[in-house]
Amino acid sequence: METEIIQCAKELSEKLIKQAGLIAKEKFGNIEHLRAKDSFGDVVTEVDHMAEAIILKGIQSAFPYHQIHSEEAGDNGIRSDWLWLIDPLDGTNNFAIGLPVFSTSITLMYKKEPVLGVVYEPMTDRLFESCINEGAHCNGTKMKMKSNDNFRRGNIGWIQGHNVQNDIRAVTLRQHIDLNCKRMMRLWAPTLQWCMLAKGDIDGIVLYNSAGDDLYSGILMVKEAGGIVTDFEGNPFTGMKTEPYIIACHPDHKDELIKVVKEGLGLFNEAN
């Protein structure tokens, strides 16, 4: 029964996420309503709400007894082993300034573990999807993590939570990573960084206290592509955390990436 639910959810998610993505693509560069979302500088547009409405309507119709938490609408108040996490426009700030780096993310959790992750990048028409124990794919092509012989000169994605801002500990770690790899990337569209890692386009991710509706689709994507996701101590990341601190990479580079992170945190400790 669980397998049937996941398969039905996958087919529905792929349909809904493309519909939502089409709205974002059509509205790109032509925003009518923009307002501040919080004190951290985030914004919300009419596209966030339009895309969200399409996805919520479809899921609520097909799975009326499932719990849903969405970026703008919040929680639907239902309690269930099945939980949908929706980010209708991941990268809204990019979208708002005309930077075509954004996506839509749908995740299905079962007993607090991701079993389905679907991410759609409308400007490139790339559909990323991963199902538990079935691998991860981009437009139907299987993705596989890559090992880099010169990992210290690799590209590392940085993701931080909204409330982190310029926390000195995070800044110190971020700067250390920036100085010890080829490029430290901050896309402000986390799901796309997770998909890039799964696809082998970047070499690792360091996530600093960033929990949200956009997190678990990416985690499943990387795991199903052969990657590892751990906390800063190297312990496997499982379940749902309110304040996650994560590294993700090819298994060959686990020790090296943890070492880089601990070096950066050590610099903060020495200075304080």
pLDDT digits (tens, 9 = 90+) for 90-104: 999 999 999 999 999
Last residue of a domain, one of 112, 142, 172: 142
Domains contained in the chain, number = 2
125, 90: one domain: yes
Last residue of a domain, one of 142, 162, 179: 142
Torsion angle, alpha carbons of 180, 207, 37, 214, to 10: 130
Range of the domain at 131: 2-142
Do 87 and 168 fall within a single domain? no
In this prediction, residue 40 carries a pLDDT of 64
Structure tokens at 154: 């690799």
Say yes or no: 198 and 132 in one domain: no
32 and 55 together in one domain: yes
Q: What is the pTM of this model?
A: 0.95
CATH of the domain at 174: 3.40.190.80
Lowest mean pLDDT among 45-49, 192-196, 205-209, 215-219: 45-49
End of a domain among 86, 118, 142?
142
Asked if residue 268 has pLDDT above 80, the reply is no
User: In terms of domains, do 19 and 94 share one?
Assistant: yes
